[in-house]
Amino acid sequence: MADSYYDPKDLRKFGKITEWSEELGTKFFDYYGKVFEAGALTAREKSLIALAVSHVVKCPYCIDAYTKDGLQKGITKEEMMEAVHVGAAIESGATLVHGVQMMNKYNKLSM
């Protein structure tokens, strides 16, 4: 099997981004940590949202991280898959709604 472009071990190196830009890296991690604290949404709900978004943005590191996080927070495989489907539906809808742009352009040019 060929090596993957994404090395799962790199996820453990994520915190090192501060080495090349300490101020911005630190601000990012402060923000990131704050976002995932319980607020109007529980930490569990935020983890499930993060998992769905991870699939939409196609981030294998995020998928690994939030699958693990979700398991630790008691999210079931059925809830995870349903969240992935929600993300897929939104992404598909966003792609298809751009068809209106094409239809408008076609109608304008074919007059």
* pLDDT tens digits, one per residue of 27-79: 999 999 999 999 999 999 999 999 999 999 999 999 999 999 999 999 999 99
Which of 10, 28, 4, 8 has its CA nearest to residue 18? 28
Residue 1 domain-assigned? no
pLDDT for the residue 2: 53
Residue 53 domain-assigned? yes
Which of 62, 59, 111, 51 has its CA nearest to residue 86? 51
DSSP conformation class of 17 = G
Residue 6 domain-assigned? no
Provide mean pLDDT across the span 70-89: 98
Q: pLDDT band for 3, please (50, 70, 90 cuts).
A: confident
Task: Enter the pTM of the model.
Answer: 0.83
pLDDT for the residue 1: 44
Residue 26 domain-assigned? yes
Domain region containing 106: 21-110
Residue 63 domain-assigned? yes
Q: How many domains does the chain have?
A: 1
Tens digit of each residue's pLDDT (9 = 90 or more) over 4-15: 788 888 888 999
CATH number, domain of 37, equals: 1.20.1290.10
Residue 13 domain-assigned? no
Residue 32 domain-assigned? yes
Contacts of 80 (CB under 8 A, 6+ apart): 48, 51, 67, 70
88 contacts 65 by C-beta, under 8 angstroms:
no
Residue 58 domain-assigned? yes
